[in-house]
Amino acid sequence: MGKGQLDAGSYKRLSYWFVILAVVFFLVGLWKFISYCSFIGTCEKVDAVVVEVYDRFTYEGHGVGNHRVRTIYEIYVTYTYQGQTYNHVTLDGYDVVYEGDELEVYVDRDNPVDARLPGNNLYQACVMMIMMPIWLIVARCLKKQAVY
- Read off the pLDDT of each residue in 2-10 and give the average, rounded to a whole number: 65
Q: What is the pLDDT of residues 101-114, one digit of tens each?
A: 999 999 999 999 99
The three-state DSSP-derived secondary structure of the chain is CCCCCCCHHHHHHHHHHHHHHHHHHHHHHHHHHHHHHHHHHCEEEEEEEEEEEEEEEEEEEEECCEEEEEEEEEEEEEEEECCEEEEEEEEEECCCCCCCCEEEEEEECCCCCCEECCCHHHHHHHHHHHHHHHHHHHHHHHHHHHHC
- Read off the pLDDT of each residue in 40-61 and give the average, rounded to a whole number: 84
Domain ranges within the chain, ordered by starting residue = 8-147
How open is the CA angle 99-102-127, to the nearest 5 degrees? Answer: 95
pTM of the model: 0.62
Residue 10 has pLDDT above 60, yes or no: yes
